[in-house]
Structures are given as structure tokens and as C-alpha cells.
Amino acid sequence: MAFQQLSGINAVMFYAETIFEEAKFKESSLASVIVGIIQVLFTAMAALIMDKAGRRLLLTLSGVIMVFSTSAFGAYFKLTQGGPSNSSHVDLSTPISMEPTSASVGLAWLAVGSMCLFIAGFAVGWGPIPWLLMSEIFPLHVKGLATGVCVLTNWFMAFLVTKEFSSVMEVLRPYGAFWLASAFCIFSVLFTLSCVPETKGKTLEQITAHFEGR
């Protein structure tokens, strides 16, 4: 769960202003504000429709959106920095060129769109719903311990991804790192469809019976 949440989020937030600068926004410092607004709006939307649409549907939709957005982000980096003559180390804080051409500006818009789409997709599903599911699926006699283990694991993976993502980008190149994130997002969709029960409108006893095969 942590990888698909944080790999894209970290990279997007670290380089949001550069992406907006390449898209020729006059106020690139507004990038973080725009990202924050998108996240708040779509998280609120998820809260409003969660009990009607269901947890599994929103998780699946969220995962599919993140697959497409991280794939597009990888394509952006492949098209702009994927040449064979480039060094394996890419400084993403440096603009592609001092005087961007219309083509590079168009590609920058691809990055802006991918960034906004990822944030929206994350906020509508994989951002809030796993925390809700933890309170719904664990039986009472193990809920405290199980929730603690999940939270500890999540934040440990968050730390690991945050610490090592730049190293992953050096080894796999930026486009490879985002395509790896896309692969994890695909896994999240498959995991949701095959393993996550729909808890909408169900009691804890009904959810427990589901896991016990009754």
C-alpha cells in the first residue's frame, strides 16, 4: 500500500514547481497549493460517495487512475530525458532547456496533467479508504494489535520509500521508477479485486463470516 501511495506522491511533490515552470505557469510556486486543493476536493468527494459507491469500487477506480497517471509520468520522463546519451543520473530540479520549445511545453503539460490525475486518483481511494477498512475488517479481539501492526508497517514503508526513491530513480532512470510505481498500482488493483471484501453496509459479524468462508 505504501509504495503506490508514496513513490508517486513524493516525486510529484518534490518536483511540482519545476513541472509547472516547464509548463510556463507564471506562478509555479502555486503548484503545491493546486495539488493540495485537488487532494482536499477529491478526498471530500470520496467521503461523500463512499457509502453509496462502496469501498472496492473506489479502490479499484483509484488504482486504475494511478496506473494511467504514473505510466504517463514515466512516458513524460522517457520522452524528455530518456535519450541513450544521457547520464544515468538525472537532476530533476534542472529544467529540460533554458528556452523551452513548444514541444517541451506540451510535454510539460503532460506532466502537469499526470500529476493532477495521480493526486485525484489517490485521494478518491487509496488515500482514505485503507484507514477506514482497518477499522472495519479486524475482529475486536485482535483489532488493536492488528491496526498497530498495519500502521507501523505503513509508516516504515513510507520512510523507506521516501529515503530510497531518489536512488531508485538513479538506478532505473526517472521513467523506470514511475513505471515501477505503475506496476505496483496494477498489483493494487488485482489485490483489491481478488482479496478485499466489500464492507459497505455490512456488520463486523458478516465481514468475519466472509473471511471464515461461511
Q: How many domains does the chain have?
A: 1
> Which domain CATH number covers 122?
1.20.1250.20
Q: Does residue 87 form part of some domain?
A: no
Q: Does residue 183 form part of some domain?
A: yes
DSSP state of 79: H
* Domain range enclosing 35: 1-82+106-212
Q: Does residue 190 form part of some domain?
A: yes
More confident residue, 114 or 108: 114
pLDDT, residue 121, reads 92
Q: Which of 13-22, 84-93, 153-162 has the highest mean pLDDT?
A: 153-162
Q: How far apart are CA 177 and CA 4, in angstroms?
A: 11
Q: Does residue 90 form part of some domain?
A: no
Residue in the block written with cell 479499484: 60
Span 11-40, average pLDDT: 68
Distances (CA, A) of 157 to 6, 113, 117: 9, 27, 23
Q: Does residue 99 form part of some domain?
A: no
Grid cell digits, residue 19: 513541472
More confident residue, 34 or 69: 69
More confident residue, 62 or 85: 62
Span 172-195, average pLDDT: 92
Grid cell digits, residue 49: 460517495
